[in-house]
Amino acid sequence: MFPTSSTVRPPVSAARARAIAGYRNMALWTLQGWVAMFFVAAGYAKLTEPLDNLAALMTWPAFVGEPLVRGVGIVELVLALGLLVPLVSWRIGRWPLLISAAGLIGLETIMLSVHGAGLDLGLVLVNIVLLAITIPVLLGRR
C-alpha cells in the first residue's frame, strides 16, 4: 500500500522552523505586553484612586480595608513588571517572568471568584480574557 498525501508530511526546513519560532516569540511578547499594561494600569489605579471611586467601579473594595486594596495594587504592579524583566536582560533568566506569570494567573483566578461572588459579570469576563492571555504566556515561556 502506498502512502497518501495525508499520511506523509513534508519535512520542515530549518529556515521555516526559525520563522515559526520568530512568529511565536512575537506573539508571546505581544501577549506579555498586553497583560503587563493592564496590570500596571490596574495596580496604579488601586494605589492612587480614592477608595470611593474604586468601590464605584468594583464592589469588593467597599467590603475590605484600604490596606488590602493598596496591597493588591502593589502586587499587581510588581508582577506586571516581572513579566517585562527579560526586556532589561535575558541574563537575569526567565524565572522572574515565569514566577510573575504564575502569580498573575493565581491573582486572576482569585479575582474571578471574588467578582463571580459579587455578581460582577463584566469583571468576570475581563478575568476570563486575562486568563486566556496569561496562560499561553506561562506555557510558551516555560
Does residue 6 belong to any structural domain of this protein? no
Averaged pLDDT for residues 21-44: 92
Does residue 24 belong to any structural domain of this protein? no
Checking if the pLDDT of 8 tops 80, the result is no
Does residue 75 belong to any structural domain of this protein? yes
Checking if the pLDDT of 10 tops 80, the result is no
Averaged pLDDT for residues 46-53: 91
Whole-angstrom Cα distance, residue 42 to residue 49?
10
Does residue 70 belong to any structural domain of this protein? yes
- Residues of the domain holding 123: 37-141
Whole-angstrom Cα distance, residue 24 to residue 1?
38
Does residue 108 belong to any structural domain of this protein? yes
Whose cell is 505586553? That residue is 33
Total number of domains in the chain = 1
Contact indicator for 38, 130 with CB cutoff of 8 Å: yes
Does residue 105 belong to any structural domain of this protein? yes
Least confident of 24-28, 68-72, 84-88: 84-88
Does residue 9 come out as left (phi exceeding 0), alpha (psi in the -120 to 50 range) or beta?
beta
The model's pTM is 0.82
Whole-angstrom Cα distance, residue 99 to residue 24?
20
